[in-house]
Structure 1
Amino acid sequence: MNKLKILNDPIYGFITIPNSLIFDLIQHKYFQRLRRITQMGMSYLVYPGAHHTRFHHAIGCVHLMQKAVNVLRFKGVAISDDEETGLYVAILLHDIGHGPFSHAMEHSIADGVSHEHISLLFMERLNQEFNGSLTLAIQIFKGEYPRKFMCQLISGQLDMDRADYLKRDSFYTGVAEGNINSERLITMLHVVDDGLVVEEKGIYSVEKFIIARRLMYWQVYLHKTGLAAEQLLIRVLQRAKELHDKGHKLQASKPLLYFLENKISLKEFNDDTLDVFAELDDFDIISAMKHWQHDSDFVLSNLSDMIINRNLLTIKLRKKAIQDQALEKHILTLMHKYNISRSEAQYFVFSGSISNQAYQEKTKTINILHKSGKIEDIVKASDQLNLKALSKTVTKYYICYPKEKL
């Protein structure tokens, strides 16, 4: 069977699958599940085009990694065939542990289990199936491989993950501010003292990349309506788990029921749990909410209805933390209007904070290689005064409460 297939991607055009191992991993059911995991969670309720999946993103990352390997080899950086494959595998599988709608499960029915940890469990399982051929990729993914620049290509401030998702999410949302020049950035990459650097002539592309990241976070990833929808989804799953624990029978798929019935933390996330998780995707959650919007429980039915029919909570952003009395006013109104308890009302009235730091100056810096051979952090090398400002964390506070009628 010919495994060197070509895929047609709306962002980059034709993408070639580099070798048979990558093809076999793409064909595996664990990876195919990513076709059913939305890349941007609930953002499609704000940007109707944002229906692209983690599958699209992972394939795009492999394409960019191929470009990066070719550029670095051309510049005399030694990368063996095994290391090349390791980079492709690590970037292909870096998001394989994402649950339904990407982040909602991490904060609701799985207790503190990050998608990175689940990705690692999947990679270790696949490594057994593929006779140890993922060992080097796992080392790179964990940041343990001795050649530092390879780990930076997978997880750094200018990695192939960000290089793809900014461009891809910009395309599918139609938000032009995020459209970075990935190919230009990759062409400017080099390695000095085992660290990834960007040649001086690529400095303006890096500036654009950092500014695009900031704009995409405020305009897309932390958009207040998308934020309200994601918080609703987290609370739907929390309420479903709470009801199930009290013996309230709920209609849901087998994989979803497993997570509702069992307390799943890092310690309990064993091989059996991984098998069930591998069957869980966006469709389980959507299907469950379609049933739950007609449930007898006031909270679960209303929360589910809000998402299914996009009748979301009102959300207001503030520069200062939300005062308790502002929450209390809305909670009391709800309690009296619908004769519900305080704990039930708090599912609809809550506050929180969001923060955005476009550039982490102290960790995983982006270094510029000057023609003189001097290496300098982008903040110091740039003549843009606002890059220093972009390395500061900006925090905003939000309050959510229902519109006039549930």
Structure 2
Amino acid sequence: MINSNKLKIFNDPIYGFIRIPSTLIFKLIEDPYFQRLRRISQMGLSYMVYPGAHHTRFHHALGSMHLMQHAIQVLRFKGVAISEEEEEGLLVAILLHDIGHGPFSHAMENSIVEGISHEHISLLFMQELNQKFNGSLTLAIEIFRGEYSRRFLNQLVSSQLDMDRMDYLKRDSFYTGVAEGSINAERLISMLNVVDNELVVEEKGIYSVEKFLITRRFMYWQVYLHKTGLVAEQLLIRILKRARELLGKGMQIECSEALLFFMKNRVFENDFTAEVLDQFSHLDDIDILSALKQWQYHDDFVLSKLSGMIINRELLSIKMKNSPIASKKIEEQSEKIKNLYGLSEEETAYFVFAGKIGNRAYNSEFQNINILKKDGRLKDVAKASDHLNLKTFSKKVLKYYMCYPKETI
């Protein structure tokens, strides 16, 4: 790798000093596409539950890159050959893996654009940067897409035990103050190895993997899918839906030029041209928050009421159950709010709605985590573990919810 002509470091609250290893990576970090991640929240609206959760995708990307540097060092020490070109490709791939996130991350993934994953948009950004940097990202893109011949390199970037997950669990635990979510990433990385081009975990690291999976399950139900954060995200999705609906009826909506572009245009995967990518690159959390501050005073009751709920944290009530919500209960709440505010059926649906959420801590059928036994055999962690609950983690758990205004209680 080509070293930068100056010593570049970031002071990170999780890992201490993070070293920038090459000129290319420093230039990528300097690029406006990457700097935009400073204005994209890592945890969406979770700060409404955990006030400290204001860290950004920028933090997370640098942290993931730092862990990748450590993983490369460990694997080389164990005799796994990784060339300097592969090292830079890995570091670039993990640095840019989340560059395609939109405002408030996952909450907006299907509101700004139509059914386009952030991974796909990340790839588009990487391809654009590859042109800008004269093909320097070609290997990183191959690794990111899983097209490079050495499969374990992609697994370090995207798998069930990758540097992305290790960093966000440790980082999100730190910033939320949820100590139960902390993992020992360094211990996990020190137990990694490669067998037949596949990433594996040495047998003595099995308890660290168990802790990692249990922690991930805990963080999803306690933090990422917390009912208050869920309500806030659902409100935000409906606010943008209402704004788009009003624009379609010819009403005036004040917001930034970038946000207005996506409110006026329904963008599908095939529509994602260079012009659209440029508009997307100007979109961040600030666009959404400034729009909400204006929309809370809009003439439309639905838009103003919903926007005020987010701005003032006067959210809807939510009930969560392990079984589907009875349609009768939804109808009862809908009738109350319809009469209270004098709304139509269509407008009432913005305030009373039901849905479901699901999570699976471990998927034994896709990119499973293999444990390297002392006799050289590989065994799936769920089968190798003596933890009673680990096998159940591979089953998807569903929970059902209903949201409605507090005024109807």
TM over 0.5: yes
Contact kept? 2:351, 2:404, Cα under 8 Å: yes
TM-score normalized by structure 2? 0.98
Question: Aligned equivalents of 1:77 and 1:123: distance in 2?
Answer: 27
SS in 2 for 1:353: strand
Q: Does 1:190 align with 2:190?
A: no
Counterpart position of 2:386: 383
Q: Does 1:279 align with 2:257?
A: no
Bigger drift between 303-312 and 382-391 goes to: 382-391
Deviations 1:235-254 (A, max 9, x none): 01110011011111011011
2:129 aligned partner: 126
CA shift, 1:46, in A, is 0.2
Alignment of 1:309-328 (within 5 A): 309-328=312-331
1:2-22 Cα shifts (integer Å, max 9, x gaps): 444011000001110011111
CA contact (8 A) 2:382 2:390 kept: yes
In structure 1, give the amino acid aligned to 2:101. Answer: H
Q: CA deviation at 1:104?
A: 2.6
d(CA) in 2 for partners of 1:134 and 1:96?
14
2:45 equivalent to 1:46: no
- 2:301 is the alignment partner of 1:298: yes
Question: How do 1:361-380 residues align onto structure 2 when only pairs under 5 Å count?
Answer: 361-380=364-383
Deviates more, 1:89-98 or 1:107-116: 107-116
| Structure 1 runs not aligned, ≥5 long | none
Matched, 1:354 2:369: no
Note if 1:113 corresponds to 2:101: no
How far apart, CA to CA, are the structure 2 residues paired with 1:335 and 1:315? 18
Structure 2 CA distance, aligned partners of 1:378 and 1:67? 23
Q: Deviation string for 1:11-35 (max 9, x for gaps)?
A: 0011100111110000000000000
Q: Percent identity?
A: 66
Q: Is the 8 A contact 1:37 1:282 kept in 2?
A: yes
Per-residue deviation, 1:187: 0.5
1:209-248 maps to which residues of 2 (within 5 A)? Answer: 209-248=212-251
Q: Distance in 2 between matches of 1:263 and 1:378?
A: 43
Asked if the contact 2:352/2:403 (under 8 Å) is kept, the reply is yes
CA distance in 2, matches of 1:151, 1:353: 32
Counterpart contact for 1:4–1:23, Cα < 8 Å: no
Q: Which residue of 2 aligns with 1:6?
A: 9
Distance in 1 between residues matched to 2:110 and 2:6, nearest whole Å? 39
Task: Name the SS for the 2:371 alignment partner.
Answer: strand
Poorly superposed stretches of 4+, deviation over 4 Å: none
TM-score by length of 1: 0.99
AA matched with 1:257: L
- 8 Å contact kept, 2:333–2:408: no
Say whether the 8 Å CA contact 2:53–2:176 is kept in structure 1: yes
> Of 87, 93, 97, which residue of structure 2 is paired with 1:94?
97
Partner in structure 2 of residue 22 of structure 1? 25
Letter in 2 for 1:150: L
Structure 1 residue 374, shift from structure 2 partner: 1.2
Segments of structure 2 that go 5 or more residues without pairing to the other structure are none
Cα 1:100/1:3, change in 2 over 3 Å: farther
Deviation of residue 352 (structure 1)?
0.6
Q: Match for 1:67: what amino acid?
A: H
Distance in 1 separating the partners of 2:110 and 2:94: 25
**Alignment RMSD, CA only?**
1.1
Are the equivalent residues in 1 in contact too, given 2:336–2:408 (CA < 8 A)?
A: no
Q: Give the residue type in structure 2 aligned to 1:294.
A: Y
Pick which of 237-246 and 261-270 moved more.
261-270
Aligned length: 406
Structure 1: distance between partners of 2:265 and 2:159: 35
